[in-house]
Chain A
Amino acid sequence: MAATSELSASLEDYLEAIYHLVKEKQAARVKDIAERLHVKAASVTGALRALSERELVNYTPYEIVTFTRSGEAAALDVVRRHSALKDFFVKILLVDEASADSAACAMEHSVTRPLLERFVHFTQFVEDCPRAGTKWVRGFSYYCDHDSKQDNCEKCMRTNLDEVIQKKANKGAQAMTEQQLGSLKPGQKAKIVRVALADAASRRLVEMGMTVGTMVEVIKVAPLGDPVEIKLRGYHLSVRKKEAEGIYVEQAML
């Protein structure tokens, strides 16, 4: 294998594999690497030799493999590229994780650094920009599944503008932190982030409309302290404290 200044795609795959193995099991062995990449052990030793020539890994036959300092940096770089691409596919294009993973694997080697930076920034931008945001992405998903006409655009734009104004008004908006629905005070609104209850209970809650991302408002607590009245999707629901403690929410910025 010729020594080039740039690592070959396959060597990058090796670095990535070693990186993940080290993370998982503290150390990488030839056998594990071979298993992970679906190659023969002989190919692995060849690659390891090439990597150790470039002083990226410490390798002696029959010993565990560790990174050198520059090796770790190189591996991290590959991993970062992979996850940036995968993020883009999953978050923006709404591709499922498995396909995103394999596509990222194929593309990570050929994407140049400046292009990669763009991907990262764009993902960030879509999430932050009030004109886009996660809602916009979901709109895209709907667009993919259905023929969409642009008849709700004014409303959508208007709500976005409202939100921007509101955000500006709450300049020092507190960091979003997860808390239990049960800990909210009457009058407080929050967004459901997850439901951690027994299967049957979670299922029922979701069926009643408590899906992730739904806004709920605590209306009041019953005179005896339990249950709690909440409002979601335009209707009122009574929930016992026990269940309310298994519903995790993020307080809205208001």
Chain B
Amino acid sequence: MDKAITIALAGNPNAGKSTVFNNMTGARQHVGNYPGVTVERKEGGCTHNGFDVKVVDLPGTYSLTAYSIEEVIARKFLIEEQPDVVVDIIDASNLERNLYLTVQLIELGVPLVLAFNMSDVAAAQGHQFDLEKLSALLGVPIIPTTGHKNKGTAELLDAAIEVAQQTKGTNPEMVRYGQEIEQAIANVVDKLEKSNKLSYSRNRWIALKLLEGDDDVASRHLSAELRPVVEQQITEVEHKLDEALPTATASHRYGLISGVCTQCVRSTIERRHSISDAIDLVATNRFLGIPVFMGLMYLVFWLTFTVGAPLMDLLDGSFGWLAGVVDGWWAPGAESALRSLLVDGIIGGVGGVVIFLPNILLLFLAIAILEDSGYMARAAFIMDRLMHKIGLHGKSFIPMLIGFGCSVPAIMATRTLDNRRDRLVTMMVVPLMSCGARLPIYALIIPAFFPGAWHAPLLWIIYVIGIVLAILSAKLLRSTVLKGESVPFLMELPPYRMPTLKGIFIHMWGRGWLYLKKAGTIILGISILLWVMTSYPKKTEFQRDYDAEIAALQTSATTELQEEGLAEIENARMAETLSYTVAGRIGHALEPVIKPMGFDWRIGTAMIGAFAAKEVFVAQMGIVFSVGEADEDSDDLRDKLKDNYTPLIGFAIMMFSLISAPCMATIAITKRESNSWMWALFQLAGLTVLAWVVTTLIYQVGLLFGLGVV
């Protein structure tokens, strides 16, 4: 006997599916994406009664039509991968709507077990269920569970294994659609049976879907000869019923559900004001709603960046220490490519990414709490009007806000968006929210070129430009590449629930691990590449004889002068070295392209380095201007900038930094989250082109108005 079985978990969003999943699998789970699409696929496993059970968590859906990518995936999985049993998680406190999916699963004829979840909530609401009768009427076993108390999990597994071993399916003719539709189904089934060898129940399902105008099924089963038959049936039936077929069938399903519910559910007095309603009295209140939302967002920000900061410093410190240890393996001053690779390339590059881990864990802690408690839906409810105006979704607001901190967690936060298209648009425009790493650039440049009174307004203008560009880009994407939204925005506002610690930690850890593992591998590669580009080829013959100059200086001048002179010479050598490297050469080669923006090769070279992380720009500028180790407070560097560039160029640098892709981690995470290099490269190219166009425009128009002269 084969002792391995596969269970697919189906259910409505908010039915407590992930809690049941966590109960079944514990920490043994794997989060990934379905091939080629931005839909999460969670898998886990356990052993039960000697069976090796694999559990696949299907995307949460309300229905099994081809309405959304999630539904298509769930259905495809059920049909093509044929799990041994499907467990449908039902929110007992919301029975009628949850049964809609159940009825469709029954019609699909899959081996089915119902998990009657949250029966405690339903009981508190005054509902009593006759589960025996419900089970008899639906023809499927029903197991009561209480997800957050981990009750009924073992029984559920027992039942699932039992059903998996039987071959008995459900009754696909559960719903009778009335004479007209039934006749049409029979006619189409007739034709189907002549051309394929599928079972009657599968053909009935196919016929029904064809009549409902399901594109996905049509592309598989609608042959050229069948098409006119189906079309004629649809026209006839719709004429007779004076109703569109898909809504007619949906109504019939709900009709059956209502009938079943009247027989099996006894409702005592409905409690009008549950705790959940009481919370909403404040949380979505006309006047308090927005302040409460803003307050909570501030808290998320504070938790992610303020609480995270010391942890980040700690990690930064440990990487610094590690770099020091590794550095110590070589004799001081010795030239070694391996040391440079290890210290500057790998530890510096990967460390630069890993230090974001505390932020990411904390952010996902906050998001998990907001989501599991049910507040996220309220946040979207509050912000939807604003976000809808720019072609996005209420839920896009949170990632956009987080984007002001760091694009990487922001892009990961787009996972809360259910719709793939909304998610991709949000992902694409999030980098335009000016992130924390760009701040050092502004902090360096603004004081270098502009008088004090201008500082704050300028900074504000830069952030606003970012927001405006994000809005415009979102609109543009929405009306071009990611067009199409005939679907209505319907979002459930689930009752507030106490999040479970287990759920939150699994959520948080899952994200953190993903970040480390996947982004880490790509980032490691790019780090090495960037290191090579800024280190090679090595220059051996210099324009000046630095060593001789140093020697001369050491014999002639005083100690004070010596130190100053030495630094100057070393810096000049570094500048020349960088100019000779691949990055420097690219910087030179790029000059004609970046010229219209007012940039010279030095800025170009610094920008290439800045792709590792935006704040690196400052250090790189320090190197090309031979001022040594520079940070954003370096007055030397500011003087150099002031001598070499006009304020207009300064502004152009800030614009380009604002708009162009923030860092390689962002692109890597976009690749990971969108599950496609295409989108990652599209984002990179799109942002770069946009940055070039906008910066050039600003610079050229500025020149016209005579702003270019100092």
Contact = CB atoms under 8 A, between A and B. Distances in A.
B506 interface: no
A204 B488 contact: yes
A236 interface: yes
A208 B62 contact: yes
A201 B382 contact: no
Interface string B165-189: 0000000000010111000000000
Given A155-B266, A227-B381, A229-B381, A209 B254 contact: yes
Given A152-B262, A227-B489, A233-B94, A220 B385 contact: no
A62 interface: no
Interface stretch (B24-32, B286-294, B398-406, B497-505): B286-294
A96 B384 contact: no
Contacts, number: 140
A36 interface: no
A238 B491 contact: yes
A234 B94 contact: yes
Interface stretch (B245-253, B511-519, B681-689): B245-253
A15 to B, nearest CB: 26
B94 A145 contact: no
Interface residues of A, number: 46
A243 B488 contact: yes
Given A142-B259, A238-B377, A227 B65 contact: no
A220 B284 contact: yes
Interface stretch (A46-54, A114-122, A191-199): A191-199
Contacts of B388: 226, 240
Interface centre among B250, B386, B491 (most CB of A within 10 A): B250
A229 B492 CA distance: 9
A103 interface: no
Interface string B208-249: 000000000000000000000000000000001000101100
B290 A226 contact: no
A39 interface: no
A155 to B, nearest CB: 7
A123 B174 CA distance: 31
A231 B380 CA distance: 17
Contacts of B94: 233-235
A69 to B, nearest CB: 34
Nearest to B98: A235
A237 B383 CA distance: 15
A157 interface: no
A204 B290 contact: no
A225 B383 CA distance: 10
B473 interface: no
B139 to A, nearest CB: 13
B385 A207 contact: no
Residue among B244, B247, B377, B385 facing the most chain A CB atoms (10 A cut-off): B247
Nearest to B93: A234
Nearest to A209: B97
A159 to B, nearest CB: 10
B263 A152 contact: yes
A20 B240 CA distance: 19
A239 B488 CA distance: 8
A73 interface: no
Given A97-B240, A200-B486, A229-B284, A240 B384 contact: yes
A110 to B, nearest CB: 25
A229 B493 contact: yes
A198 B485 CA distance: 12
B57 to A, nearest CB: 22
Contact of B492 (A195, A201, A235): A235
B461 to A, nearest CB: 26
A209 B96 contact: yes
A157 to B, nearest CB: 13
A147 to B, nearest CB: 11
Contact of B284 (A212, A223, A243): A223
A24 interface: no
A195 to B, nearest CB: 7
Contacts of B254: 206, 209, 211, 214
A235 B277 CA distance: 11
Nearest to A243: B488
Interface string B375-415: 00100111111101000000000000000000000000000
Interface in B90-144: 93-97, 100, 125
B490 interface: yes
B51 interface: no
Nearest to B95: A234
A207 B486 contact: no
A207 B251 contact: no
B634 interface: no
Contact of A237 (B176, B251, B493): B493
A202 B244 contact: yes
Given A209-B254, A223-B284, A204 B490 contact: yes
Contacts of B255: 211
Contacts of A227: 381, 384-385, 489, 491
Contact of B289 (A97, A207, A223, A237): A223
Interface string B287-321: 10110000000000000000000000000000000
B579 to A, nearest CB: 54
Interface string A113-154: 000000000000000000000000000001001100001100
A225 B67 contact: no
Given A142-B259, A237-B493, A201 B381 contact: no
Contacts of B62: 207-208
Nearest to A155: B266
B487 interface: yes
A213 B247 CA distance: 13
14 contacts: A145-B176, A200-B487, A201-B486, A206-B250, A207-B62, A207-B63, A207-B100, A208-B490, A222-B381, A226-B384, A229-B381, A235-B492, A237-B492, A242-B488
Sort A-B residue pairs by CB-CB distance and give the 10 closest, nearest first: A224-B385, A236-B493, A223-B289, A206-B250, A226-B385, A201-B488, A238-B491, A243-B488, A203-B246, A233-B96
